[in-house]
Amino acid sequence: MRVAFQGEAGAYSEEAIIKHFGRSVEPVPRPYFRDVFDAVESGEADLGLVPVENSIEGSIVRNYDLLNERTLKARGEVVLRVVHCLIVNPGVRIEDVRKVYSHPQALGQCRAYLEERGMEAISAYDTAGSVKMLKATGAVDTAAIASGRAAEVYGMEVLARGIETHAQNYTRFLVVGHEDHSPTSDDKTSIVFIVDHRPGTLHMALGSIAGNDINLTKIESRPLLGKPWEYVFFIDIQGHREDAKIHKALTELGRSCRSVKILGSYPTAKP
């Protein structure tokens, strides 16, 4: 099975793919998040995996937008404990490091560590890609933040492990494909909806969820393009779209919203 992800070999997304599918899977690296969706839609990959939320830095909003824009469905969930490492070319000492490259999410998750040491944070397109770039330059005043696996992949040295601001640092990923997952006994459903811009519409929409005794596990708003100060709402609820009470709630939601799109139902990730 080929599973597309954003980044280079050694990226956390690749680690999440191996955790979810096992070592027989073939990870397919792509430069940008949109390329992951393109790879699945074109048949270059069977499935894709994208991060949607981090327990320190919050949502990865670009992937919520892509889920809304594209036709692919969420069909799986992976939660990965993220342990960040400060990685350098062999022989570099920590007192030599002035600049640190990584993905903006990783830099944010390690902000306290970098600020305490006066290290300049510089954004790059990928965590593992930062390590690859650092190896190519041979810089002796620069480090990268990535996984310990990335250091092994590129033959680099780890100066410090676990530099994230909080130990409870988890990233949640969604597996995307052409169809969502069949029901299990423990599922989630992701939905996006738009309500009319008038008093009480959001309350009415969410009432469809609460009134059917369904647990709302996440809500996220994103700007509605072309309509300044209006929003689309992304929610995750417990249950599968084929469950009787979920089906009833979705029917009610459709009556109170301008539009409703089911992004997919999938098994809840196991720790």
Catalytic (active-site) positions = 171, 173
**φ, ψ (nearest 5 deg) of residue 180:** -85, -175
Closest listed residue to residue 21, CA positions, set 81, 80, 78, 83: 78
Residue with tokens 């689309």: 232
Strand, coil or helix: what is 135? Answer: helix
The whole-angstrom separation of Cα 78 and Cα 60 is: 15
Q: Tokens at residue 234, please? A: 């992304």
Residue pair 33/6 in contact by the 8 Å Cβ criterion: yes
The whole-angstrom separation of Cα 30 and Cα 168 is: 28
Q: Is the dihedral of CA 72, 78, 83, 87 positive or negative?
A: negative
